[in-house]
């Protein structure tokens, strides 16, 4: 058993609240008693308050306040938790208060050396994201509870571009965070189909007493991505898009959340995509403009002409 696992096993024995002798630890974990003493010293040095009582009825125990302390985490593990908290806060994570309490426990039960090392690593990271809406946090908490307990929710919802609201009964399957927005994926009883709903477009949310069963092997991620991407059903309308350029620029385009799904072939200086003609002429020009001269369109010729038209329209707009 690895050293860290042995120390955790000893710590679990001590967390029972009862005195444990070195001999009992040695027999339980099948290790040399001298190794037990060495591990006890290591755990104590890390900041765990182990009380050692000699004599016939003696043994090792923990101070009362530490019995309820968090699990034993090393500096790397503590740093990872703090970093995860930074990402969660920037995403508008709805469990922020509970997360703060957990981190507070970690800090309270760390020694000075651990706190110094963790602080050095934590302050090395910052996360910059879009503006988040604090007003949706209560909705997120309610939705998470509904997803976990399989309760339907009644929502008042408005779609993009519509001023009026519609009432929906939804079986929430999963929550998704994408592009600085929170979504819930579930079965909409109004449409009798699976739908995605942006949480910031909900005016009201009420948990109902209705329960539901989620379909087996349902992937909210797969559904969500497919709902964003157009399907290539019309084979006759499919065109080959060939781009030539620098490796870095091509990497960006091939990893793009939309364009990357249609990548067919890639070399160090060329990428080939299969897309519908309409998408190539309406969407791709604006995607390529920021790359200036680092990307060159090889095919189709019609896209080159469309790029010239878009540029001409922009020039005319700014000249007026």
Q: pLDDT 10s digit of each residue in the chain, 320 long?
A: 567 777 878 887 887 777 888 888 888 888 888 898 888 888 887 777 888 888 777 888 887 656 555 556 777 777 888 888 888 887 778 777 887 887 777 776 666 777 777 777 777 877 777 666 657 888 998 999 999 999 999 999 988 767 788 999 999 999 998 878 889 999 999 999 999 999 989 999 999 999 999 998 899 888 888 787 665 555 567 889 999 999 999 999 999 888 888 899 999 999 999 988 888 999 999 999 999 899 999 999 999 999 999 999 999 998 87
Fold of 134-228: SH3 type barrels. (2.30.30)
Which residues lie below 8 Å from residue 277, measured CB to CB, with a gap of 6+?
237, 238, 239
Domain range list for the chain: 3-67, 75-122, 134-228, 235-319
Among 263, 271, 188, 264, CA closest to 227: 188
Helix (H, G, I), strand (E, B) or coil at 188: strand
Q: Are 21 and 60 in contact (CB under 8 A)?
A: yes
Which residues lie below 8 Å from residue 312, measured CB to CB, with a gap of 6+?
none
Check whether the bond before 300 is cis (ω within 30° of 0). Answer: yes
Q: At what angle do helices 33-45 and 22-29 cross, to 10 degrees?
A: 110
Taking the CA atoms of 169, 175, 128 and 284 in sequence, report the sign of the dihedral they define: negative
What is the reported pTM?
A: 0.60
Fold of 235-319: Alpha-Beta Plaits (3.30.70)
Angle at 22 between CA 68 and CA 53, to 5 degrees: 70
Fold of 3-67: Arc Repressor Mutant, subunit A (1.10.10)
Q: Are 237 and 199 in contact (CB under 8 A)?
A: no
- Structure-block tokens of residue 86: 């930074």
Q: Are 61 and 53 in contact (CB under 8 A)?
A: yes
């Amino acid at each position: 058993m690895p050293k860290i696992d042995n120390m955790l096993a000893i710590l679990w024995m001590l967390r029972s609240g009862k005195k444990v002798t070195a001999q009992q630890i040695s027999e339980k974990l099948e290790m040399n008693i001298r190794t037990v003493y060495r591990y006890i010293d290591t755990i104590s040095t890390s900041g765990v308050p182990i009380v050692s009582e000699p004599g016939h009825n003696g043994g090792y125990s923990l101070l009362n306040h530490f019995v309820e302390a968090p699990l034993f985490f090393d500096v790397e593990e503590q740093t990872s938790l703090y970093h995860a908290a930074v990402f969660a806060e920037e995403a508008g994570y709805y469990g922020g208060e509970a997360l703060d309490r957990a981190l507070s426990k970690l800090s309270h039960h760390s020694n000075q050396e651990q706190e110094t090392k963790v602080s050095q690593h934590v302050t090395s990271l910052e996360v910059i994201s879009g503006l988040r809406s604090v007003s949706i946090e209560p909705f997120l908490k309610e939705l998470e509870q509904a997803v976990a307990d399989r309760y339907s929710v009644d929502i008042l919802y408005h779609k993009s571009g519509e001023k009026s609201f519609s009432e929906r009964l939804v079986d929430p399957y999963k929550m998704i965070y994408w592009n600085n927005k929170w979504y819930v994926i579930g079965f909409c009883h109004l449409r009798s189909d699976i739908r995605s709903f942006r949480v910031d477009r909900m005016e009201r949310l009420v948990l109902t007493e209705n329960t539901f069963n989620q379909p087996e092997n349902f992937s909210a991620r797969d559904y969500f991505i497919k709902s964003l991407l157009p399907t290539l059903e019309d084979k006759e309308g499919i065109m080959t898009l060939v781009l030539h350029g620098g490796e870095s620029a091509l990497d960006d385009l091939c990893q793009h959340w939309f364009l990357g799904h249609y990548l067919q072939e890639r070399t160090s200086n060329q990428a080939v995509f299969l897309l519908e003609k309409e998408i190539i002429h309406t969407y791709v020009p604006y995607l390529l403009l920021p790359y200036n001269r680092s990307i060159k369109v090889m095919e189709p010729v019609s896209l080159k002409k469309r790029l010239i038209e878009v540029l001409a329209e922009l020039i005319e707009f700014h000249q007026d």
